[in-house]
């Protein structure tokens, strides 16, 4: 079997399932439960926990999970190898740290933590305890962005010289039932959505060496128009229109804007500009999406068919990748170096603005291994060594 070769059915049946303890059974947990119980062949959700007991009970019933326990009991449970941290960002650092100290591998929803210092501490702890640490987003492992990655790696657009990324929306107080946290410390459009865009950019363009940024609070107060808090006022504590410039290690230059202050935009989500063409990358908050390519000698933008599978919502594929690494070794794709690099970029965009100076990145991050193009849905895939 080659490095990226397809596994036979026999390999799949022989595969060891890794037991996972899920902490946090809120909004996003359903898709993880579905994929980790039904889609991926090497994962088993052994237990779930939530501070709101009903949520854990309901999830266990819905997804046939054998054990409902507290987070503390999960740490003492020898059967559980991975803690999947699906709590809100404010809880990420503490739950990750305690899990690592208990000798568990950890996969955390985005962002890794609220500060770069905390992120570095978690990375160091994971190295000391010899456990795997990784986290969301894993959308870059899906069909859309992997197709773009292949086009770039195959040299179709030549040498990438620049990239743009735009995430501009009018704000979540129009639809979210509890939108306050988006405008408080740890919130804002960069921490909320930046991880999708920056992870996709690092996967396509490589690590970032230098950053600068600017941000504004365009509206110091926001009025909630969703139910049930319609009419309530939010005092805004964080920048809601943020622009960042990124110098990649290759010398290419990236531009990112994230905003909760824009009514509407016609701009693409992500574009990559190469010496021999332009690539339009689909929404990095999805696994699929349309890939378009412009070649100077071609006839305009042309849609490129996906070269990879997992175009549907495959959240949890990063956890399956971690399970594969536990069994076989190899380098995690959505691993600690990537998620901490992305956290540093987001913090740097903010600190560059505060200090009015360019920020030199401290972390170095290699592009994660590309996904194989010859796997079958539900199978695990051969890990790049």
Ligand X SMILES: NC(=O)c1ccc[n+]([C@@H]2O[C@H](COP(=O)([O-])OP(=O)(O)OC[C@H]3O[C@@H](n4cnc5c(N)ncnc54)[C@H](O)[C@@H]3O)[C@@H](O)[C@H]2O)c1
The distance of closest approach from Cβ of residue 38 to ligand X in the complex, given in angstroms and rounded to an integer, is 19
Query: In angstroms, rounded to a whole number, what is the distance separating the alpha carbons of residues 11 and 379?
Result: 9
Number of residues that bind ligand X (CB under 6 A): 21
Name which position in 48, 50, 198, 257 contacts ligand X (CB under 6 A).
Answer: 50
In the bound complex, which residue of the shown chain has the CB atom lying closest to ligand X?
A: 26
Report d(CA 246, CA 211) in Å as an integer: 5
Q: Is 24 in the site for ligand X (CB under 6 A)?
A: yes
Give min distance, CB of 376 to ligand X, in A: 26
Q: Distance between CA atoms of 270 and 282, rounded to whole angstroms?
A: 7
Stretch of residues binding ligand X (CB under 6 A), selected from 18-26, 57-65, 222-230, 335-343: 18-26
**E strands of the chain, at which residues?**
18-23, 43-49, 67-68, 82-85, 105-108, 133-135, 160-168, 208-216, 221-223, 233-235, 241-248, 253-259, 270-274, 277-281, 291-294, 302-304, 359-360
Among 81, 109, 337, 344, binds ligand X (CB under 6 A): 109
Interface residue with ligand X among 34, 55, 98, 184 (CB under 6 A) is 55
How far apart CA 354 and CA 12 sit, in angstroms, is 52
Least gap, CB of 302 to ligand X (angstroms): 31
Binding window for ligand X (CB under 6 A); candidates: 43-51, 158-166, 223-231, 271-279: 43-51
Residue 77 or 331: the one with the smaller Cβ distance to ligand X is: 77
Note whether 89 binds ligand X by CB under 6 A. yes
Tell me which DSSP letter residue 219 carries. Answer: -
CB of 257 to ligand X, least distance (A): 20
- The span of 45-53, 74-82, 241-249, 359-367 binding ligand X (CB under 6 A) equals 45-53
The correct pick among 23, 69, 323, 361 for binding ligand X (CB under 6 A) is 23
Residue 121 CB-density burial (10 A; 0-12 exposed, 13-18 middle, 19+ buried): middle
CA angle (128, 129, 132) in 5-degree steps: 105
Kindly indicate which of the ranges 88-96, 155-163, 273-281, 338-346 contains the residues binding ligand X, using the contact rule CB under 6 A.
Answer: 88-96
Element (H, E) at 9: helix 9-14
Burial class (CB in 10 A: 0-12, 13-18, 19+), 59: buried
**Would you count residue 147 as binding ligand X (CB under 6 A)?**
no
26, 158, 162, 206: which one binds ligand X (CB under 6 A): 26
Cβ neighbours around 73 below 10 Å, total: 14
Query: Is residue 25 at the binding interface for ligand X, with CB under 6 A as the rule?
Result: yes
Does position 110 bind ligand X by CB under 6 A?
Answer: yes
By CB under 6 A, name the one of 8, 16, 38, 51 that touches ligand X. Answer: 51
According to the binding rule CB under 6 A, does residue 198 interact with ligand X?
no
3-state secondary structure of 127: helix
Q: Which is nearer to ligand X, 137 or 160 (CB)?
A: 137
- Identify whether the C-beta of residue 43 lies closer than 8 Å to the C-beta of residue 326: no
| 136, 334 Cβ separation under 8 angstroms | yes
Residue of 18, 20, 47, 49 interacting with ligand X (CB under 6 A): 49
Helix or strand holding residue 341 (H, E): helix 336-355
How many CA atoms lie within 13 Å of 94's alpha carbon, on the beta-carbon side?
8
CB closer to ligand X, 186 vs 368 = 186
Which stretches of the chain bind ligand X, using CB under 6 A? Answer: 23-29, 49-52, 55, 71, 86-89, 91, 95, 109-110
């Amino acid at each position: 079997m080659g490095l990226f070769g397809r596994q036979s059915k026999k390999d799949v049946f022989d595969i060891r399932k890794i037991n996972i303890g899920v902490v946090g059974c809120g909004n996003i947990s359903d898709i993880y439960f579905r994929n980790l119980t039904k889609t991926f062949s090497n994962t088993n959700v052994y237990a779930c926990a939530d501070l709101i007991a009903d949520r854990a009970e309901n999830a266990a019933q819905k997804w046939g999970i054998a054990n409902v326990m507290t987070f503390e009991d999960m740490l003492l449970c020898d059967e559980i190898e991975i803690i999947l941290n699906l709590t809100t960002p404010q809880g990420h650092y503490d739950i990750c740290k305690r899990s690592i100290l208990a000798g568990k591998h950890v996969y955390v929803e985005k962002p890794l933590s609220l500060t770069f210092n905390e992120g570095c501490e978690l990375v160091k702890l994971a190295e000391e305890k010899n456990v795997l640490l990784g986290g969301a987003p894993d959308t870059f492992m899906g069909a859309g962005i992997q197709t773009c990655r292949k086009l770039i790696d195959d040299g179709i657009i030549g040498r990438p010289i620049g990239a743009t990324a735009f995430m501009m929306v009018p704000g979540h107080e129009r639809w979210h039932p509890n939108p306050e946290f988006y405008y408080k410390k740890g919130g804002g459009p960069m921490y909320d959505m930046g991880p999708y865009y920056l992870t996709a950019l690092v996967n396509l363009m490589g690590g970032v060496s230098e950053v600068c940024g600017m941000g504004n609070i365009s509206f110091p107060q926001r009025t909630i128009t969703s139910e049930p808090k319609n009419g309530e006022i939010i005092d805004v504590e964080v920048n809601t229109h943020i622009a960042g410039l990124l110098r990649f290690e290759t010398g290419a230059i990236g531009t990112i804007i994230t905003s909760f202050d824009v009514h509407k935009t016609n701009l693409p989500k992500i574009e990559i500009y190469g010496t021999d063409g332009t690539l339009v990358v689909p929404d990095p908050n999805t696994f699929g999406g349309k890939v378009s390519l412009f070649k100077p000698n071609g006839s305009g933008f042309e849609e490129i068919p996906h070269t990879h599978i997992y175009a549907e919502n495959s959240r949890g594929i990063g956890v399956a990748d971690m399970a594969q690494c536990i069994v076989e070794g190899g380098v995690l794709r959505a691993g600690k170096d990537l998620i901490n690099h992305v956290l540093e970029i987001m913090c740097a965009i903010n600190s560059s603005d505060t200090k009015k100076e360019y920020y030199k990145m401290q972390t170095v991050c290699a592009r994660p291994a590309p996904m194989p193009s010859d796997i079958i849905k539900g199978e695990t895939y051969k890990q790049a060594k």
